Amino acid sequence: MRDHYDFSKSVKNPYAKKLKKQVTIRIDEDTIEYFKELAEDKGMPYQSLINLYLRDCAQSHKDLKIKWQ
């Protein structure tokens, strides 16, 4: 290792705005199974699929209609 590193010509990470944040969320088991099966059909990780779905909801400003009984 060097004693000194020169970062004067460094460049900011262009992907820094797209970094993901780890969170803990409680999701029903049947919902997880649904996304796991769908992700397997699509050939991608189920967490990535859930992220894509939630991002689509956020970008299109989808509104959930809830009726309490």
Sign of CA dihedral 43, 47, 50, 56: negative
pLDDT of 16 reads 80
pLDDT of 44 reads 97
Dist. CA 36–CA 24, nearest whole Å: 18
Sequential pLDDT tens for the chain (69 residues): 889 999 999 998 888 877 888 999 999 999 999 999 999 999 999 999 999 999 999 999 999 889 887
DSSP letters, 29-52, are HHHHHHHHHHHHHHTS-HHHHHHH
pLDDT of 36 reads 98
Predicted structure pTM score = 0.69
